Structure 1
Amino acid sequence: MSTAPHNVQAYRASLLHFHADPAFTSDAAHWHEDGLLLVEDGKVKAAGDYAALAASLDPALAIHDYRGKVIMPGFIDTHLHFPQTDMIASPAPGLLPWLETYTFPTERQFSDPEHAREVAEFFLDQLLRCGTTTAMVYCTVHRESVDAFFEASQARNLRMAAGKILMDRHCPDFLCDTAEGGVRDSEALIRKWHNKGRNMYAITPRFAPTSTEAQLRLTGELAAAYPDTFIQTHVSENPDECAWVKTLYPKARSYLDVYDSFGLMRPRAVYGHCIWLDKEDFARMAESGAAAAICPTSNLFLGSGLFDFEQADAARVSLSLATDVGAGTSFSMLQTMNEAYKVARLKGSYLPAVRMFYLATLGAARSMQLEGTIGSFVPGAEADFIVLDPQSTPLLARRTEKCTNLEELLFALALLGDDRAIAATYACGRQVHQRQGS
């Protein structure tokens, strides 16, 4: 039977998606140099070689012709802060003074719903411009910031996870919550937004130093009551921060153990940074189903350290890449790959481009326990995808013209690409960004 054209869209281009981690499986990528993506009612109907699928098409169906470009699942950014958009690229000698000087004063403004809404709109437009269709997003302590974010996300029909920051000590009075009040507000927001449309709620203690034991205990109880929510926080980002946590929680074996002792290690828990974890920490992450979000531009910007890919892989921890805006210096996952490659080299390991693209798509979906929903082109997955243009800049065009295999092509896109390489972005089969001139 031919495919009816009224609710189906067809896209012809080179197609790329993954079914496994290239670090552990040699044929992890599905690559169709002349491919066809079929979308029906906002979900993937089929993806494969054009020659194999074209015969099933209704002759009346118009095909969106992106030949010369690459269609792949939208990027998934597993750690960033939408309220920090306006303070990106702010100078500071390290993490803790950066928080005091820029982060906390900037976040104070998000008690104003209009301000929160305007920043959320800009933030989401930037993500789409860079090809990011899903993200795990930190809001502020203000409920208004969460409402503004989800309203803006829902208007674009994006699959986003976000949550109100929980913080009841070691912060300015104007951002200080109470243990009970913060968790009560979080529960109200879960009931209002979680699984409403494509919205997903993330329970969000900022990091252990800004939460009392009482707050972390109540946070763990909230996470147990709502096991399909996400958990997001920071761990082992900076040596000074790690030393501070040791003084605040002297009985804990490690920084990660603080969270574990309050029931916050579980599937759908995503921990930002993870630079200074030891082997026992990584083993515990893998055992619990928690995941690590690697933030190379942020870590380099603040001088926090270099993520240890080899140690994490030895434990088989779920990994993904993240921009960590605004300590991170770009919304672009391509530029994030660029820095991740260099971090790996400085740490003594090698990160192939095909692995970086996996980490930004299926690897991130697996970290979020969303495999089959986003991150690949398996039938039934939500049709969030991007169109990459290897000729988007003169230098990229010149370099990719000489590429002889997929790894070279992806490496050039990762090392030379940025938002200009995103020709178009689609969410549930609907175009939500088109590069000017495309």
Structure 2
Amino acid sequence: MTASTIAYRASLLDSLGDPAEVGLEHSCRYFEDGLLVVENGRILAIGPANELLPTLAADIPVHHFKDALITPGFIDTHIHYPQTGILGAYGNQLLDWLENHTFPAEQAFASREHADQVADVFLGELLRNGTTTAMVFGTVHPESVDAFFNKAATLNLRMIAGKVLMDRNAPSTLTDTPEQGYQDSKALIERWHGKGRLHYAVTPRFAPACSHEQLARAGQLLSEYEGLYLQTHLAENTREIEWVKTLFPDQGGYLDVYDHHGLLGKRSVFAHGLHLCDDEWKRLAETRSAIAFCPTSNLFLGSGVFNLTRAEHEGVCVGMGTDVGAGTSFSMLQTLNEAYKVMQLQHQPLHPFKSFYLATLGGARALELDQQIGTLEPGSEADFVVLDYAATPLLAFRMQQAQSLEERLFVLMTLGDDRAVKATFVMGERAHSRT
């Protein structure tokens, strides 16, 4: 242990596996009075406080968070930072919402000054809500990605982002060409991918906004650079699906459009996946592609409900996505609240252990980052959040009635929001404190 060693005392919880695979009783690790020891930005030890405290040198500080729970930092597998300013925009389903709200807002990101301002607000909101890693859409403008990555690098965040590729069916001010999209993306990859904790995602907006040539160039980028991600949208809206059929009549369906161009794989994350056919489920599983479950935006836009049970049955990896700005909150707690309701509509109750798995280790697995983040395992990066059981008078009162860990977690995810986040830590450094 060195001078940089710090210990944090509170209740501790992290996931060890997917409850659907290992069972609820083996899916998480919990210490009612635990100690988390951090050294040089990584977790050194985790265990009961009464066992670990005597092993610490006398000069190691111990920060005690009473009536609080420490979990790994939340992981958001699908979000649009340029849509921060239209969060809560009224009306419309997906395609009209894009036309009336999203595209007008994104045109402003040709300005680096505007992009810098929104990136600052966006990342501040993520940290205020306990989210330490996200997979993020920029706009078609390279300036939007430069602004985002520059701010994320300053904060030492593990973030994934990319420039939108879109060469048709959008305003001319928001379209590029296959060649321009390729060259702009290539420059951004070489500038940012692998720098510190940053990763680049090739980002075709969705199939209707991309020609065959554009998607082919996206596949070319994935083949030319090691470790890139792919993020896009899939089967969110029934009108959208019918549109894809008319635009790509030679392909076997929405997913096949992407598959045809080599865009499926273990670092490919497809948002939504609400209306998939049997073959699409199987192909996602075969290629180890992941889905971002975005319940808040799915309800807000009236798109449909995600079949998590089917994903489990098919072996498709799933992470949670807030999908701001169609999603109405940066809070992963509120997103889990909506996920529970979505599952209730399908008569499939969502257990709190599964919820917190999806928001942490499940998200890390969807992003192929579970060796770095998503747990409190020794050796992993010390990205974690402190959740306050008494953050509001109602939360404090309700917690007095809770009889089990499961109930406390469920109360957090139904009554909790950004006020429940007492502190957020990034690589062992406090990045947010609730005042």
1:349 alignment counterpart: 348
Q: How does 1:32-431 map to 2 (within 5 A)?
A: 32-431=31-430
Q: Percent identity?
A: 51
Greater mean deviation of Cα atoms: 274-283 or 194-203: 274-283
Does residue 24 of structure 2 align to residue 18 of structure 1? no
CA contact (8 A) 1:43 1:381 kept: yes
Give the letter aligned to residue 374 of structure 1: I
Helix, strand or coil at the partner of 1:214 = helix
Give the letter aligned to residue 24 of structure 1: E
Note the C-alpha offset of 1:7.
1.1
Note the C-alpha offset of 1:378.
1.3
Give the letter aligned to residue 105 of structure 2: T
Give the letter aligned to residue 92 of structure 2: P
Give the letter aligned to residue 184 of structure 1: Q
Give the letter aligned to residue 206 of structure 1: R
Structure 2: give runs of 5+ residues left out of the alignment: none
Counterpart-to-counterpart distance in 1, 2:347 and 2:306: 11
Give the letter aligned to residue 314 of structure 1: H
Give the letter aligned to residue 73 of structure 2: G
Helix, strand or coil at the partner of 2:401 = coil
Structure 1: give runs of 5+ residues left out of the alignment: none
Greater mean deviation of Cα atoms: 275-284 or 37-46: 275-284
CA contact (8 A) 1:307 1:347 kept: no
CA contact (8 A) 1:157 1:198 kept: yes
Greater mean deviation of Cα atoms: 61-70 or 115-124: 61-70
Give the letter aligned to residue 330 of structure 1: S
CA contact (8 A) 1:272 1:293 kept: yes
Counterpart-to-counterpart distance in 2, 1:297 and 1:303: 10
Note the C-alpha offset of 1:359.
0.3
Counterpart-to-counterpart distance in 2, 1:315 and 1:288: 12
Counterpart-to-counterpart distance in 1, 2:414 and 2:244: 36
CA contact (8 A) 1:205 1:232 kept: yes
Give the letter aligned to residue 284 of structure 1: R
Give the letter aligned to residue 22 of structure 1: P
Note the C-alpha offset of 1:61.
1.4
Give the letter aligned to residue 280 of structure 2: D
Deviations for 1:96-131, whole angstroms, at most 9, x for unmatched residues?
A: 111111111110000100000000000000000000
Greater mean deviation of Cα atoms: 281-290 or 205-214: 281-290
Counterpart-to-counterpart distance in 2, 1:234 and 1:101: 19
Give the letter aligned to residue 269 of structure 2: V
CA contact (8 A) 1:34 1:67 kept: no
Counterpart-to-counterpart distance in 2, 1:134 and 1:126: 12
Helix, strand or coil at the partner of 1:35 = strand
Deviations for 1:326-385, whole angstroms, at most 9, x for unmatched residues?
A: 000000000000000000111221111110110000000000000120100111111000
Note the C-alpha offset of 1:176.
1.0
- Structure 1 segments (4+ residues) deviating >4 Å: none
Give the letter aligned to residue 137 of structure 1: V
Counterpart-to-counterpart distance in 1, 2:292 and 2:428: 27
Helix, strand or coil at the partner of 1:59 = coil
Counterpart-to-counterpart distance in 1, 2:44 and 2:238: 48
Note the C-alpha offset of 1:67.
2.6
Helix, strand or coil at the partner of 2:20 = coil
Note the C-alpha offset of 1:24.
2.0
Deviations for 1:147-168, whole angstroms, at most 9, x for unmatched residues?
A: 0000111111111000000000
Counterpart-to-counterpart distance in 2, 1:244 and 1:279: 20
Helix, strand or coil at the partner of 1:401 = helix
Counterpart-to-counterpart distance in 2, 1:280 and 1:310: 16
Calculate the TM-score normalised by the size of structure 2. 0.98
Counterpart-to-counterpart distance in 2, 1:62 and 1:427: 18
Give the letter aligned to residue 421 of structure 1: A
Counterpart-to-counterpart distance in 1, 2:262 and 2:28: 36
Counterpart-to-counterpart distance in 1, 2:194 and 2:418: 30
Deviations for 1:164-189, whole angstroms, at most 9, x for unmatched residues?
A: 00000000011110011101110110
Note the C-alpha offset of 1:227.
3.6
CA contact (8 A) 1:282 1:317 kept: yes
Helix, strand or coil at the partner of 1:264 = coil
Deviations for 1:399-427, whole angstroms, at most 9, x for unmatched residues?
A: 11121211111100001100000000000
Alignment: residue pair count: 433
Counterpart-to-counterpart distance in 2, 1:317 and 1:46: 32
Helix, strand or coil at the partner of 1:23 = helix
Helix, strand or coil at the partner of 1:379 = coil
Calculate the TM-score normalised by the size of structure 1. 0.98
Counterpart-to-counterpart distance in 1, 2:378 and 2:43: 5
Greater mean deviation of Cα atoms: 165-174 or 309-318: 309-318
Counterpart-to-counterpart distance in 2, 1:360 and 1:297: 14
Give the letter aligned to residue 315 of structure 1: E
CA contact (8 A) 1:274 1:292 kept: yes
Counterpart-to-counterpart distance in 2, 1:28 and 1:280: 30
Counterpart-to-counterpart distance in 2, 1:112 and 1:392: 39
